[in-house]
Amino acid sequence: MASPTVDAADLDIPGAGVRWWGAGVLRLLPPGEVLWGVVNNAGLATFGDLEWLSLDDYRRLYEVNVLGIVATSQTFLPLVRKARGRVVNISSLLARFAVPMRSPYVASKYAVEGLSDCMRYELRDWGVNVSIIEPGNYIAGTNIFTAAGVDATATRLWETMGEEVRALYGESLFWRRVAVMKKYADAGSTDLTPVLQAFASALLDRWPQPRYQPADLYFKTRCLVATHGPEWLYDALYISTPK
């Protein structure tokens, strides 16, 4: 990203890259200046039933999606605290309701919600506001899944799957489930304006909200049913898997 006011970097989260970038920010800030806000937007996604996936698949998402927030926040909070500024953590509406074949991502986003709420309570005594942004479906706008990427992941999962699990699912059922994920590659909105507006509000409004949900009516309704309705109703309306 090239901009006179924005610097972006790929960080080895949650490794030494965060500390290196933190030191760089300190060098860039003029004497006496502080850091107003941090947006934790790192995120990975994968798919697959529990038995298709390895511990490394789960660990990789947790390290980036959850521990990345911890590492970045720990690095920059001393500067943000001096400014009585803002921390914005990007979660997902999949932190409010679960779906099949997405357990690594869903579990990591549930963790982001709990972590962010704890941070909000802990930091308010220092005047630091913590907000969570829970986007709806913007897969088509972010390319977090692509058809080619789904195929590559599916091939890897099938080749590394244990013989017992492979026999249990069978190749036909496996690829029918993969086809469901491939449909998501082109799903959702390509207009990221609502998400960017949520960023701006969380960073700049005098009274930022604890949570923002930039999502269409379908996903807001689904979240409402999942949060306040009986589980049997949510399951009946929204959950199905190829068999």
Q: Which residues are catalytic?
A: 105
Q: Which long-range contacts (CB under 8 A, 24 or more apart) does 16-23 make?
A: 18/68, 18/71, 18/72, 18/75, 19/75, 21/75, 22/75, 22/76
User: How many angstroms separate the CA atoms of 79 and 157, rounded?
Assistant: 43
- Residue-wise over 168-198: b if at least 16 C-beta within 10 A, else e? ebeeeebeebbeebbebbeebbeeeebbeeb
Integer angstrom CA distances of residue 88 from 59, 85, 123, 233: 23, 10, 13, 32
CA 97 from centre of chain: 14
